[in-house]
Amino acid sequence: MNIPRLLELANDSGGTLYLMLLLLLVALTVIIERSRFLSNMQEGGARLIALLKQEGGQIADLALPGKLAQLPHARLFAIVQTEPAGVDRNSLDGHLEEAVMHEVPSLDRSLWMLDTVITLAPLLGLFGTIVGMFNAFHALGDVQNGATQITGGIAEALIATASGLFIAMIGLVFFNALHTRVRLIVHQLETLKVMLVNRHHRLGSPPTSSRVPVELIRTQARA
């Protein structure tokens, strides 16, 4: 099937094939951009968790490498390092939770566009098929058109529906994959929050003294 024939089919579908080509380009752009962004973020989050485990709780002077410092996870480290040593555990947990809530919207940015393509592509394909069917049945009014031409026009009209379903299937697979990756990154943020709270609380808690209070010694001596 050559390019002029494809252009003819696009025109017979009422121009919906041109719109579906645009939807395909939008879907591919979102898939490529979000896949790279979320892959780098997930890999960086795993490195930060491993780094925090290796430090053994020494987070006060922990300096993150350049690329890791640009991740949303690094915001949690910055908050912990600026908090006073004696900060209440609940207050620190609330500050970190607030930071996580601010960072989460940046994870699923543009995914709504992919969700829209998944819903809109089959509808546009159906609309293009209906327009093509109108053109095919319009040929019935001409006695010179044979049955082969009419059935051929119906088959060509179904290309719009097939194209819409194809775009929707591709978008659905990658949408679910990206949504799963977003969920894993949110889990990383929550894991880092708990790890930082535990380590900061352990470092900030005063050491337990084994000495007997002087007042208790005096009381026992008087007795």
**Residues 29-53: b if buried by 16+ CB within 10 A, e if exposed:** ebbeebeebbeebbebbebbeeebe
- The pLDDT tens digits of the residues spanning 83-136 come to 776 778 888 888 888 888 888 888 888 899 999 999 999 998 888 888 777 766
CA atoms of 204 and 59, how far apart (whole Å): 12
Q: What percent of the chain has pLDDT over 70?
A: 69
Token duo for residue 82: 């600026």
CB 37 within 8 A of CB 70: no
The band of 10, judged by pLDDT with boundaries at 50, 70 and 90, is: low
Per the structure, the complete domain to which residue 95 belongs is given by 3-222
The yes-or-no verdict on residue 205 having pLDDT over 90 is no
The yes-or-no verdict on residue 147 having pLDDT over 80 is no
- The pLDDT tens digits of the residues spanning 18-48 come to 888 899 999 999 999 999 999 999 998 888 8
The yes-or-no verdict on residue 73 having pLDDT over 50 is yes
Could you give the number of structural domains in the chain? 1
Q: What is the pLDDT averaged over residues 197-209?
A: 58
3-state SS, 5-61, equals HHHHHHHHCCCHHHHHHHHHHHHHHHHHHHHHHHHHHHHHHHHHHHHHHHHCCCCCC
> Which of 46, 163, 36, 170 is CA-nearest to residue 110?
36
